[in-house]
A = this chain, B = another copy of it.
Amino acid sequence: MSSRRAPRPAVATHNAQRPSPWRASRERLRDREVKREAVIRAAAHAFNRKGYHNTSLDDIAAALEVTKPTVYYYVTSKEQLLFQCFVAGVEQIRAAFREVKRLNVPARERLKAVLRHYGEAVASEFGWCMVRAEDQDLSPAMSGHIKALKSEIDQGIRRLIRDGIQDGSILPCDPKMTAFALAGALNWIAHWYRENQSMTGAQIAEVFVTVFENGLRPRASAAEGSTRGSARRRARQPAAALAR
């Protein structure tokens, strides 16, 4: 009941995916910024796998094949590390909003584009930090920054929903609650998605967006896409499969 944390790898095994810039060449590298980013990335990776509280700075240092003071040479605190990971993830979403502003299509299409990027970001390496970083783990100042960024995104989604209702491309609904539902479904991807799974983040986001768009209830208009004509077959019958 004490050794639930995975034994820290003695020399960072199978980490070949992104080799440490330190051990890349035998000598120390000059590039401070490269190394700083490597620290952030290693932290995100570790948080992603073991959670914030179960990751020690020694773990992160070990993954980079350096020691803890070296990590502290590039960041000021563990908290700041988490914050940096968060920002890295959120920035992807903010970029999506900026990009979409230029599109000249109904708001529902713009919303879909944003949600696709959103899903990709959440499935990325920084997804965990974006989504599972809790206010309680951070100082009030950091927490405030994060809340502001999250709120910006939330408000952006709500606005797209409102615009969509305006231009008729989205069914009238409560923008706030609908934004919560959409963002929640996408955020949750970070809880179950692991890399080298069958689907990429983009593919998942695509499927989700389609579900949101169409809804569960079959549509009356038969001339819709290729949804296998004979829906509504056996409707209203007491389902046979229920008994078991």
Chain A interface residues (CB < 8 Å from chain B): 1, 4-5, 49-51, 53-54, 77, 79, 101, 104-108, 111, 132, 134, 136-140, 163-164, 166-174, 177-178, 180-189, 191-192, 204, 207-208, 210-221, 227-228, 231-242
Q: Which residue of B lies closest to A51 (CB)?
A: B136
Which of B4, B166, B221 is within 8 Å of A241, CB to CB? B166
Quick one: copies of this chain in the complex?
Answer: 2
B51 touches A134 (CB 8 A): yes
CA distance A77 to B5 in the complex (A): 17
In the complex where A136-B50, A180-B192 touch, is A108 in contact with B217 (Cβ < 8 A)? yes
Q: Please report the C-alpha to C-alpha distance between residue A101 and residue B241 in the assembled complex, in whole angstroms.
A: 11
**What's the Cα separation between A235 and B138 when bound, in Å?**
44
From A50, which residue of chain B is reached at the shortest CB distance?
A: B136
| B216 lies within 8 A of A181 (CB) | no
The complex places the Cα of A188 from the Cα of B130 at a distance, in Å, of 14
6 smallest CB-CB distances across A and B, nearest first, come from A215-B215, A184-B188, A168-B235, A53-B53, A185-B185, A220-B221
Q: State which of B192, B207, B212, B219 has its C-beta within 8 Å of the C-beta of A174.
A: B207
Closest residue of B by beta carbon distance from A77: B1
Q: Does B236 lie within 8 Å of A106, measured CB to CB?
A: yes
Most B C-beta atoms less than 10 A away, residue of A187, A217, A219 = A217
Q: Do the beta carbons of A137 and B54 come within 8 Å of each other?
A: yes
Beyond the given A168-B233, A173-B211, please list 20 additional residue pairs across the A-B interface where CB-CB is below 8 A.
Answer: A1-B139, A4-B138, A49-B136, A53-B137, A101-B242, A104-B242, A106-B236, A107-B239, A166-B234, A167-B235, A168-B234, A169-B235, A173-B210, A178-B216, A181-B208, A184-B186, A184-B188, A184-B189, A184-B191, A220-B220
Instruction: List 26 A-B residue pairs with CB atoms under 8 Å apart, sorted by A's residue number.
Output: A4-B136, A53-B53, A54-B136, A104-B238, A105-B238, A106-B236, A166-B234, A166-B241, A167-B234, A167-B241, A170-B217, A171-B214, A171-B215, A171-B216, A171-B218, A171-B219, A172-B231, A173-B214, A177-B207, A177-B211, A181-B207, A181-B208, A182-B185, A187-B191, A215-B217, A219-B219
